[in-house]
Amino acid sequence: MENINMKGVIVNNATKTYGAGKSKCAILRGLDMTVKKGTIYGLLGASGCGKTTLLSCLVGRRRLNSGDILVLGHEPGSPESGIPGPRVGYMPQELALFDYLSIKETLQFFGRIYNLKTDFVNSKLDFLSKLLDLPPSHRYIGTLSGGQQRRVSFAVALFHEPELLILDEPTVGVDPLLRQSIWNHLVRQSVDHGRTVIVTTHYIEEARQANTIGLMRSGRLLAEDSPENLLRDYNLTSLENVFLELCMKNDDNKLTSIVTNGTSCNHADYKTEQTHQSQGGVDNMVFDESALSNVTETDIGIQLQNHNNYDVISPSPSANPTDSFVNISQFSPVICVTTDKSDRSDGSETSSALQFTGSSNSTTSGKLQNRPFRSLPSPHRLVALIRKNYLQTFRNIGIVLFIYLLPPFLSTVFNATLGHDPTGLKLAIVNDELDPSQGRICSSNTTDCTYSMLSCRYLHYIKDKIIQVPYDNVSEALEAGRNGQVWGVIHFGHNFTEEFEIRQDAGDSATLENIIRSRISVNIDSTNKIIHSSIKKWILEGFEDFYKDFMRSCGHEPEAGFIPLEFFDPVYGQNDTPFTEFMAPGIIISIVYFMGVSLTSGVFITEKQQGLLDRNLVAGVQMTEVLMSHLVNQFTAMIGQTALVFLVMLLIFNIPCHGNLGLAVFITFLQSFVGMSFGLLIATVCDDEIGALLLSQGSFLPLAVISGFCWPIEGMSFYLRYIAYCSPMAYAIKSLRCVFTQGWGIEQTDVYAGILISIAWIISLLSLCVIVLHARKNSS
């Protein structure tokens, strides 16, 4: 009786679709495939026929919509399978290599992933360097040619001596001599060590060295047999002509499904495989099968059946009439056993097919069988990932500059450009007190108690803040304001000094006409609120200083003429606190948040696009380990970023921190973690850098504006404030501002509320990452 463990791969009625509704596309259509252990299986087919999708299902990276897969006797993803993990060596179509690692460091990285000893890794590096004609091991991957990089990728799949090798186009871009050397090595691995090899290739004729060939088109196998049998049965001289004839028959709807009789090897091949199994099977250095739970040996009965949906046909007129071709569409884990196996050469009938009761199309059973095995993060894999991240980061000059120069640069730009009083503002001055024949420039600068040219005396108090531009009349000055040449107009009447003196002497009995003629008329451009407010403030402060000085020079009480209000020292801050101090906490939080989002999402997306993430996951790395390694890497970068930002803010621009500096740094760290968590969420949602860039940058500006970093949240509507305070940055900025400007501690509500909200965002975003990853894995 033939054991199920004699089969390396069994695929039954595999169906895989992408999309939904009208955009739904079937990639695999009821595909059946059998690969014996210790053999080489060549999977041939044009681009887009489903080869890569099938391989990704074999290594557990995608799930079938229906059908069943057994790899090395177990479901991919089950704890007994070791797949994804060390039992499989996977070479994807993409290079999936780290540009800033050397060849030696690349193999050492995967050696740490597989927990291999250093001596073993070094010996395999020497062996594979000679076999594959690799460049010197100190060369960085990014400096190699395309063909050299593919050879390194092939070495990564080979070096840990897996039981199953899955190679997607391994000989593309390789010269013929090296291609033959690679095939010779694969044959030796199969014959001498009993390793199972699945190879996809466009070079149809090179697949003659495979034990079995599967010809694939449009998501189905057109034929599955040994090269010799295919050439003999179709009476053709090349496999390419066999494939062409099968495709033509398929296009004419004469061929629906072909599955050859039993296996593609003869009785001698079967005995050879039995010998390998009796000698202990595959000597995998990484996966110890004795650690697995015992699997009950189940004999598989192969029973020919003609399903209603498929035609049973003979491959060619020259084929042996005893050969049968069948497609099996339904089976369940209940196995019925009947076997009749004899030598093909003796003419006796060979019948073998899997017979299961029930249907394999049950989505419930498929989910249960494909449920991935979850375990705790592995320390040796975490260390390998963290070390790889550091090497990738610090060898990339652009990334290093982005991490450590951009934050202090942004801090410098913000402090140099925001929050300062405007300067160089021009105001039109129309002073009708001056004699036009003697010019419009004030020459009088008296300081005694003299009612003479008080307009010039007042203008002296605002000359340091405003550039005064004289005009002959009000109409010209207003026209200049409309043309944007000046920000406003100040007008003094003909008898301003005399009318001002009369008003002072008359006091409460001054007439309305006198009051109007003693006024200073001011028109200001109010399109810019900041400039309008600044000019108005300077004009009022200038008049206050002028009036107090004039009253003092005349021996009067300076405060007598002002409203009975006095502003004492502020509760917090200074009498004239710079607006930069208000904005500084918001700037700090915004910078660390932005850096966390951008860097984390960018690095993660790059690994996904280049196939690096998939390759790591096939090697047995868990997604939680990938996320944790990136968080650790970004955390160390965040320490440097935060230190540089605080250095620029506190020491260079003298922004005061009245509270506990450690508490301020802790709040900043938490907000950086929020940014990193959001960056990871973006990376899990988006598949390309453009989408990640749009989402990260598109979300940053609304979040920054609503957070109140440049304008008080109290300026928003009452209901919008609740939304603002629930945003990731708003309460963190408020907490940091309370520490900086008011010196508050963690016991204050506004401080610890910001900390709690940041922690809640971190937990929520990381939980969403896990949910999205799980959902996308199920949907794939």
The reply to whether 631 and 767 lie within a common domain is yes
Quick check: 166 and 88 in contact, CB under 8 A?
yes
- How high is the pLDDT of residue 290? 41
Task: Give percent of the chain with pLDDT exceeding 70.
Answer: 83
The reply to whether 437 and 542 lie within a common domain is yes
Helix (H) or strand (E) holding 127: helix 118-131
| Whole-angstrom distance, CA of residue 371 vs CA of residue 712 | 51
The reply to whether 279 and 195 lie within a common domain is yes
Task: Cis check for the bond before 422: say yes or no (omega within 30 of 0).
Answer: no
pLDDT at 460 over 50: yes
Nearest-10 Cα torsion for 623, 624, 625, 627 = 90
523 located within any domain: yes
Q: Is 47 left (phi over 0), alpha (psi -120 to 50) or beta?
A: beta
The reply to whether 429 and 405 lie within a common domain is no
The reply to whether 646 and 739 lie within a common domain is yes
Express each pLDDT in 11-35 by its tens digit: 998 888 887 777 788 888 888 899 9
pLDDT-derived band at 714, boundaries 50, 70, 90: confident
Average pLDDT score over the chain: 79
| Whole-angstrom distance, CA of residue 266 vs CA of residue 302 | 17
- How high is the pLDDT of residue 274? 38
| Whole-angstrom distance, CA of residue 328 vs CA of residue 439 | 107
pTM beyond cutoff 0.85:
no
| Whole-angstrom distance, CA of residue 210 vs CA of residue 472 | 100
The reply to whether 401 and 345 lie within a common domain is no
Helix (H) or strand (E) holding 585: helix 579-609
60-82 mean pLDDT: 84
The reply to whether 385 and 433 lie within a common domain is no
CATH number, position 495: 3.40.1710
pLDDT-derived band at 352, boundaries 50, 70, 90: very low
Express each pLDDT in 567-598 by its tens digit: 787 888 777 778 888 889 999 999 999 999 98
Express each pLDDT in 515-564 by its tens digit: 888 899 999 999 998 899 999 999 999 998 998 888 888 888 887 777 77
The reply to whether 386 and 474 lie within a common domain is no
Express each pLDDT in 675-702 by its tens digit: 999 998 998 888 888 888 888 888 888 8
pLDDT at 321 over 70: no
Give ∠ CA 414-419-424 in degrees, rounded to 5.
Answer: 110
The reply to whether 525 and 641 lie within a common domain is no
pLDDT at 271 over 80: no
Strand partners, 359: none
Final residue in a domain of this structure, among 518, 553, 588: 553
CATH number, position 268: 3.40.50.300
How many residues are given for the chain? 780
- How high is the pLDDT of residue 291? 39
Question: What is the number of structural domains in the chain?
Answer: 3
480 located within any domain: yes
Give the torsion sign (CA, 162, 165, 171, 173): negative
177-203 mean pLDDT: 85
Could you list the residue range(s) of the whole structural domain that residue 531 is in? 425-553
| Whole-angstrom distance, CA of residue 780 vs CA of residue 774 | 10
94 located within any domain: no
Quick check: 182 and 154 in contact, CB under 8 A?
yes
193 located within any domain: yes
Give the torsion sign (CA, 172, 173, 179, 181): negative
The reply to whether 626 and 681 lie within a common domain is yes
**Buried b or exposed e, range 105-141, using 16+ CB within 10 angstroms:** bbbbbbbbbbebeeebbeebbeebbebbebbebeebb
124 located within any domain: no
180 located within any domain: yes
- How high is the pLDDT of residue 349? 35
The reply to whether 448 and 472 lie within a common domain is yes
The reply to whether 409 and 442 lie within a common domain is no
pLDDT at 444 over 80: no
| Whole-angstrom distance, CA of residue 237 vs CA of residue 228 | 10
| Whole-angstrom distance, CA of residue 620 vs CA of residue 9 | 19
Question: Of 490, 432, 492, which Cα lies nearest the Cα of 462?
Answer: 490
| Whole-angstrom distance, CA of residue 568 vs CA of residue 101 | 64
CA distances from 91 to 97, 219, 237, 498 (A): 11, 21, 31, 96
Final residue in a domain of this structure, among 553, 568, 594: 553
112 located within any domain: no
Question: Which of 222-231, 555-564, 732-741 is predicted with the least confidence, judged by mean pLDDT?
Answer: 555-564
430 located within any domain: yes
